[in-house]
């Protein structure tokens, strides 16, 4: 990112300091976290919203994928609030029974949606 970019990082655990990055320990599923982001953004709009969040993986893929979809939808909520028109939203999505529905939602909100499988 260009040096003058505003970069805000949110995680459940402390993030080691990164130059020119504002980090907060918060849960993206909460209103408190959304309030923190609004305050940091000061009415500005983001070029990119990136969500690398994932649930703690357990014994049930169905439960894990459901929780991952929840994280995606909550980060999408943040993206729709803070992205500039034509901005980029990047997230990880689990392939599950809800995958096509989630992709449909993303296609309603963005001009271009790409899915990339990474191993």
Q: For this structure, is 92 an active site residue?
A: yes
Which member of 32, 63, 92, 111 is catalytic? 92
Integer Cα distance of 76 and 64 in angstroms? 18
Structure tokens at 109: 């909100």
C-alpha separations of 96 from 50, 55, 57, 88, 112 in Å: 21, 15, 15, 23, 21
Active site residues: 92
């Amino acid at each position: 990112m260009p040096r003058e970019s505003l970069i805000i990082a949110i995680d459940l655990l402390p993030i080691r300091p990164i130059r020119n990055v504002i980090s907060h320990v918060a849960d993206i599923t909460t209103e408190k976290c959304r309030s923190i982001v609004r305050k940091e953004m000061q009415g500005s709009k983001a070029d990119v919203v990136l969500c690398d969040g994932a649930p703690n993986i357990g014994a049930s893929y169905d439960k894990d994928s459901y929780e991952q979809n929840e994280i995606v939808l909550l980060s999408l909520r943040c993206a729709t609030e803070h992205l500039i028109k034509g901005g980029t939203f990047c997230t990880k999505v689990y392939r599950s029974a809800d995958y096509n529905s989630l992709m449909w939602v993303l296609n309603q909100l963005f001009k271009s949606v790409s899915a990339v499988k990474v191993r």
